[in-house]
Amino acid sequence: MIDLTTANAAILATTLLASSATDIAWHRIPNVLLGPALAAAMLLQLAIDGGSGLATGLGGLAIGAGMLLPLYILGAMCAGDVKLLGVAGAFLGPEGAMVAGLATMMCGGVLGLGVIAWRILLHRLGTLVSMQRTCEPAIASINDSVGSGPRNMRRGSFPYAPAITAGSLIALWHISHQTLSTVS
């Protein structure tokens, strides 16, 4: 039989990976994925530690969502990203949500720099190739698929769920490592 802590980690990891896949493919993180994950997080927290576990889940939810909410209000983040970090926080608890949020911001910065470098490379490649009219449609197609995505994303934006996934998995590792250190 699988213990509840392992189930908690498995459901969190599955939710994060599925969210990253949908964010990359469609630039959306569907509520139909996040709603059941949040319910599972709260039920698991309740089963693991009763009322105290429920408070832990709610605290993690508030901290996780609260860390990205200002960016959403400023228009720099989509609502799905805020909800995803909130759901991750519900699984991780308040301390884990804080670690996940900070690690997410660091991973997002690295991802953002990578996206900028990729777009500069494509632009430069497009400039070189535009001299040869036969290759121009192919470069335009690449630029369209990377630069705007299927939902007409704002210029300069990119899927943030992979950064949230990386940050949350770092937090999960931190919590499990911390738990193992206190047991030994």
Read off the tokens for 176.
Answer: 């499990």
Residue 57 has pLDDT above 70, yes or no: yes
pLDDT digits (tens, 9 = 90+) for 157-168: 789 999 999 999
Q: How confident is the model at residue 177 (pLDDT cuts 50, 70, 90)?
A: confident
- Kindly report which listed range (21-30, 63-72, 78-87, 148-157) carries the lowest average pLDDT score: 148-157
Residue position matching structure tokens 């804080």? 98
Q: What is the residue type of 135?
A: C
pLDDT digits (tens, 9 = 90+) for 75-115: 999 999 999 999 999 999 999 999 999 999 999 999 999 98
By C-alpha distance, which of 2, 6, 183 is closest to 91?
6
89-127 burial, b if ≥16 CB within 10 A, otherwise e? bbbbbbbbbbbbbebbeebbeebeeebeeebeeeeeebe
Q: pTM for the full model?
A: 0.82
Planar angle of CA 86, 91, 92, nearest 5 degrees: 90
Read off the tokens for 11.
Answer: 């459901």
